[in-house]
């Protein structure tokens, strides 16, 4: 069976991307601690309450809407954090 593009099942609101952030977190096992560390490493301080709100649905208490711009920013800082070696990792001798 060849690949077929699935139909779009929902309307997309670029100001409310929490559902996609939760899905990315589930698929990649990204926790609030992971994103907090990555954002802090990038010089961005975000309250834990706000980050917890990104993982909630609109009808849940503590929901905080995540925009497409924030989603992209979060993914970029996570990618940068994963690309750079942690202080515990030994440096390659050729570096």
CB-side neighbour CA atoms (13 Å) of 51: 18
Q: What is the pLDDT of residues 30-70, one digit of tens each?
A: 999 999 999 999 999 999 999 999 999 999 999 999 999 99
93 pLDDT above the threshold of 60: no
List the chain domain ranges. 18-82
Higher pLDDT, residue 21 or 87:
21
Q: What is the pLDDT of residues 2-36, one digit of tens each?
A: 999 988 888 889 999 999 999 999 999 999 999 99
- Identify the three-state secondary structure at position 88: coil
């Amino acid at each position: 069976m060849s690949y077929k593009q699935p139909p779009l099942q929902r309307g997309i609101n670029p100001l409310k991307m929490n559902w996609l952030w939760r899905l990315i977190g589930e698929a990649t096992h990204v926790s609030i601690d992971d994103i907090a560390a990555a954002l802090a490493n990038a010089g961005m301080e975000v309250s834990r309450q706000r980050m917890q709100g990104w993982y909630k649905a609109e009808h849940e208490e503590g929901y905080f809407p995540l925009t497409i711009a924030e989603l992209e920013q979060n993914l970029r800082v996570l990618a940068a954090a994963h690309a750079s070696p942690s202080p515990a990792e030994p440096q390659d001798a050729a570096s």
